[in-house]
Amino acid sequence: MDKNIQNILDKILAGNASKEEVSMLNDWSKEAKENLQELNKIKDLNHSIDQSATLQAFDSEVAFDRLNSKMENPASSWKKYLLYALWIILFIVTYTSISHFWNKMGDEQKPNIEMAATNTILEEKLPDGTDVSIGLNSKLEILDNRKVRLNGLANFNVTKNPKNPFVVELNHGNITVLGTEFSVFTSQNKEEMYLKEGKIKYTTTNKVQVELKPGDYVTVTDGNVVFLKNVPDNLKNAFNYPLKYTKTNLSQVLDDLGKHYNVKVQNNSNQNLDSMNFSGKLDEDNLKNVLADLSGIYNLEFKLQNDEILISQK
């Protein structure tokens, strides 16, 4: 363990740690799962000491016996009595501070678990048994046993629990689930969701609520919820690779790539991408290679820069 962290723990156990030092310990516990586990071990040990050795050191009968033995000399015993009183007060204050710190760490400051997919799709099982597939360059944060926060693309197969709905926090709203399978994409600009089976309720940040039934495809832009009849194949089968197309306009292909790799698309050319079609499949795991393939097909340059696909004229 880092010496600075050890010093902060010593100060907390002594009851004289500053707010800044407690904050540093909180940040350290969030850096790695191993840090939190080590902190919990110290917490358990501290609890054991509080309940046995420490309390035994302040056994009331022993303390009063010692005090009575000094009562024969009142002139010298009042200082000892005051010392004992101050000692007990210090113990109570220290114990209260430590208990408050551990409770705060266990509740309000408990670090969330993050799952991030970078080069490959990440397949995980959540604590409640829910299966989730996390898209490339996407991140999922576990807030509670049945509550997560998503940035990017993910597919959920939720474990049923009618008494405790599963909640997905998004950039523009929340999804409440009882038990179902669905795909959802969220970014700073919009959200898209497709319900394969079951039932979900979507609530926007301005409290607009809609319920989706199997087969529904919904887009949300600037708080406006729109149900669409034609479900894009690459959202319906968001995790079926490679991406396959038959005479699909290029703007849709690039939009799919943006969702699949969780990047933005910026068209700086003078070409109308809706009038250009693409047929074939994109089966490269590396986005730069996919863009190189597209650059070889069209009279356009496709480049990846700072998580953004830039399109320019050759």
pLDDT one-digit tens code per residue, 221-230: 887 888 877 6
Give yes or no: residues 32 and 14 share one domain: yes
Give yes or no: residues 229 and 245 share one domain: no
Token code pair at residue 90:
């210090």
**What are the tens digits of pLDDT across the range 226-267?**
887 766 655 555 555 567 788 888 988 888 888 778 888 999
Give yes or no: residues 121 and 230 share one domain: yes
Residue that is last in its domain, among 106, 137, 165: 106
**Domain that includes residue 69, residue range:** 3-106
Contact yes or no for 246/272 (Cβ under 8 A) = no
Residue that is last in its domain, among 174, 203, 234: 234
Give yes or no: residues 140 and 214 share one domain: yes
Give yes or no: residues 168 and 119 share one domain: yes
Contact yes or no for 68/74 (Cβ under 8 A) = no
Give yes or no: residues 187 and 261 share one domain: no
Say how far residue 143 (Cα) sits from the centre of its chain: 6
Instruction: For helices 74-106 and 3-14, give the axis angle rounded to 10 degrees.
Output: 130
Residue that is last in its domain, among 199, 234, 269: 234
Burial of residue 64, with CB atoms counted within 10 A of its CB: 0-12 exposed, 13-18 middle, 19 or more buried: exposed
CA dist list (Å): 220 to 187, 204, 253, 260, 302: 10, 9, 19, 18, 27
Give yes or no: residues 127 and 96 share one domain: no
Please report the pLDDT score of residue 13 as a whole number. 59
Give yes or no: residues 95 and 158 share one domain: no
Contact yes or no for 163/143 (Cβ under 8 A) = no
* CATH code of 198's domain: 2.60.120.1440
Mean pLDDT of 96-117: 59
Domain count of the chain? 3
**What are the tens digits of pLDDT across the range 281-296?**
887 667 888 899 899 9
Give yes or no: residues 90 and 159 share one domain: no
* CATH code of 267's domain: 3.55.50.30
Cβ neighbours for 264, distance < 8 A, ≥ 6 positions apart: 187, 258, 307, 308, 309
